[in-house]
């Protein structure tokens, strides 16, 4: 077997010869990184531009802005589990390619509707729902495809580099989105995001991976059985369960806050579009710095500290006040995003190494049902609380929930581990 062949478990084996400069100097990972990083910048622009369209152009209420965030994540609750089965059945690179093209087309419809003066809030909600549906396949297929593209020993480096670029995109993207919104209107920022999905698709076309191992149709069980296999694997692992619970609850709380942040900064703190983009981008710098440090300590130890030590800083977000409020919002977000990024690197690497390759799509999808499925619920809850008690009070309630959740990790075996376990290769066969 040569160094680029695929192991029996569907993962690429360890490389015998690593190029100077690491994974970024390899053709396949380098192209994947360029495409994903470019798309991440565009998505970060849209994360600011889309709610600004709702707030500034369509004069949406806080509840409707929160519903816009919920619409992006709602598809996880609707088709997340079958999407994992489909990803395990379909060629993953082709799935990524189609999902990128669909995302580009859906997002381009928003500025076209705005330019022709027909854009409405229901149209924006439908576009967010369709983009979120394509995003499911992008997310699940990408997480299942990466362990096939890089070796097991390189997976931590690959995840870390991708998290770094994603974090940098969250620094650059919101600021760029705010500047574009202030100079040319928020809808024009969404045009940029549409273009970045086309760049990502072009990079995928340039990959030259080994053929992906596919199960024969005759040996394929029914969809419900395949969904059950993914859920059953999660239920057998207490570590996976504990990590899912923490991720689901913290996502619920944080996305409730995120759904309200543009409303809070614009209407409560009086910030303009450019300032909103700058504050969110500066806050995201913590994620960019943290991802580079995530490999220097034990994986389990890093995961525990990243969750428990950084969570209290979320209490700075709703403090507010003249001048100081924006600074506290940025500082609190900086630390919280640093912690969540380090935890994400550890989680993705653990799952990529621990889960058998033939189950990876289903386990990823089932995991994301818990994690991402809580997001629309959190966003909707944030909108309800803001409408009933005010934006700041809603953010305080969600921040308190975010702080207390990581304490549950102290009751699990994570507190005694330095590194997460890796599944033996012989256990990965179908």
3-state secondary structure the chain: CCCCCCCCCCCECCCCCCCCCHHHHCHHHHHHHHHHHHHHHHHHHHHHHHHHHHHHHCCCCHHHHHHHHHHHHCHHHHHHHHHHHHHHHCCHHHHHHHHHHHHHHHHHHHHHHHHCCCCCHHHHHHHHHHHHHHHHHHHHHHHHHHHHHCEHHHHHHHHHHHHHHHHHHHHHHHHHHHHHHHHHCHHHHHHHHHHHHHHHHHHHHCCCCCCCCCCCHHHCCCHHHHHHHHHHHHHHCHHHHHHHHHHHHHHHHHHHHHHHHHHHHHHHCCCCHHHHHHHHHHHCHHHHHHHHHCCCCCHHHHHHHHHHCCHHHHHHCCCCCCCHHHHHHHHHHHHHHHHHHHHHHHHHHHHHHHCCHHHHHHHHHHHHHHHHHHHHHHHHHHHHHHHHHCHHHHHHHHHHHHHHHHHHHHHCHHHHCCCCCCCCHHHHCC
The span from the CA of 170 to the CA of 245, in Å, is: 25
Query: Which residue range(s) make up the domain with 407?
Result: 23-210+223-428
Residue 212: the pLDDT is 67
Is 95 domain-assigned?
yes
The span from the CA of 109 to the CA of 90, in Å, is: 28
Residue 305: the pLDDT is 85
**CATH at residue 415:** 1.20.1250.20
Is 5 domain-assigned?
no
Residue 214: the pLDDT is 63
Which of 266, 282, 278 is CA-nearest to residue 53?
266
Is 12 domain-assigned?
no
Place of tokens 């996880």: 76
Are 105 and 81 a contacting pair, CB within 8 Å?
no
Q: How many domains is the chain built from?
A: 1
Is 274 domain-assigned?
yes
Is 68 domain-assigned?
yes
- The pTM (predicted TM-score) of the whole model is 0.70
The span from the CA of 181 to the CA of 272, in Å, is: 10
Q: How far is CA 246 from CA 22, 351, 373, in A?
A: 33, 15, 13
Q: What burial class does residue 249 get, using C-beta atoms within 10 Å of its C-beta: 0-12 exposed, 13-18 middle, 19+ buried?
A: buried
Are 43 and 211 a contacting pair, CB within 8 Å?
no
The span from the CA of 288 to the CA of 38, in Å, is: 15
Handedness of CA 258, 101, 346, 284 (dihedral sign): negative
Is 7 domain-assigned?
no
Give me 46's structure tokens: 């849209």
Cα 261–Cα 267–Cα 271 angle in degrees, nearest 5:
80
Q: What burial class does residue 16 get, using C-beta atoms within 10 Å of its C-beta: 0-12 exposed, 13-18 middle, 19+ buried?
A: exposed
The span from the CA of 305 to the CA of 307, in Å, is: 5
Which of 381, 400, 315, 397 is CA-nearest to residue 62?
381
Is 322 domain-assigned?
yes
Is 14 domain-assigned?
no
Per-residue pLDDT of the chain (430 residues; tens, 9 = 90+): 333 333 444 555 555 455 545 788 888 999 999 999 999 888 888 888 898 899 888 988 888 988 898 898 888 888 888 888 888 888 889 999 999 999 999 999 999 999 999 999 999 999 999 999 999 999 889 988 888 888 877 887 888 788 778 777 777 777 787 788 788 888 888 999 999 999 999 999 999 877 766 665 555 667 778 778 888 888 887 788 888 889 889 989 998 898 888 888 888 777 777 777 777 776 666 655 665 555 566 678 888 888 888 899 999 989 866 567 788 888 888 888 888 878 887 888 888 788 887 787 788 878 878 787 788 889 889 989 999 999 899 999 999 999 998 877 877 778 888 778 776 333 433 3
Exposure b/e, 270-301, CB count within 10 A at least 16 = b: ebebbbbbbbbbbbbbbbbbbbbbbbebebbb
């Amino acid at each position: 077997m040569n160094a680029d062949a695929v192991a029996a478990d569907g993962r690429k084996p360890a490389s015998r010869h690593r190029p100077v400069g690491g994974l970024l100097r390899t053709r396949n990972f380098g192209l994947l990184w360029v495409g994903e990083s470019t798309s991440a910048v565009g998505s970060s622009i849209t994360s600011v531009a889309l709610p600004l369209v709702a707030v500034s152009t369509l004069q949406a209420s806080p509840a409707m802005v929160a519903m816009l965030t919920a619409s992006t994540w709602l598809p996880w609750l609707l088709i997340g589990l079958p999407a994992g089965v489909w990803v395990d059945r379909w060629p993953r690179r082709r799935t990524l390619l189609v999902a990128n093209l669909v995302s580009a087309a859906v997002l381009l419809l928003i500025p076209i509707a705005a330019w022709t003066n027909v854009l409405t809030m229901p149209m924006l909600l439908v576009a967010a729902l369709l983009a979120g549906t394509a995003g499911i396949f992008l997310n699940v297929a990408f997480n299942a495809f990466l362990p096939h593209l890089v070796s097991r020993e390189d997976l931590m480096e690959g995840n870390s580099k991708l998290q770094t670029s994603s974090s940098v995109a969250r620094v650059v993207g919101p600021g760029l989105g705010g500047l574009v919104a202030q100079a040319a209107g928020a809808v024009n920022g969404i045009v940029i995001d549409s273009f970045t999905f086309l760049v990502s698709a072009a990079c995928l076309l340039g990959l030259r991976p080994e053929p992906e191992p596919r199960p024969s149709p005759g040996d394929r069980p029914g969809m419900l059985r395949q969904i059950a296999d993914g859920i059953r694997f999660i239920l057998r692992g207490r570590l996976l369960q504990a990590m899912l619970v923490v991720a689901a609850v913290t996502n619920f709380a944080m996305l409730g806050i995120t759904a309200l942040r543009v409303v809070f900064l614009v209407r409560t703190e009086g910030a303009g579009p450019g300032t909103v983009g700058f504050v969110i981008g500066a806050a995201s710098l913590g994620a960019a710095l943290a991802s580079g440090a995530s490999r220097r300590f034990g994986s389990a130890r890093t995961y525990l500290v990243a969750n428990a030590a950084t969570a209290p800083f979320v209490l700075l977000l709703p403090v507010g006040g003249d001048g100081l409020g924006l600074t506290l919002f940025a500082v609190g977000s900086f630390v919280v995003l640093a912690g969540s990024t380090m935890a994400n690197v550890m989680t993705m690497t653990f799952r990529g190494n621990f889960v058998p390759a033939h189950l990876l799509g289903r386990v990823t999808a089932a995991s994301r049902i818990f994690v991402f499925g809580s997001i629309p619920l959190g966003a909707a809850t944030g909108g309800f609380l803001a409408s009933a008690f005010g934006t700041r009070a809603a953010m305080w309630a969600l921040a308190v929930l975010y702080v207390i959740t990581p304490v549950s990790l102290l009751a699990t075996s994570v507190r005694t581990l330095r590194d997460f376990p890796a599944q033996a290769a012989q256990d990965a066969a179908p």
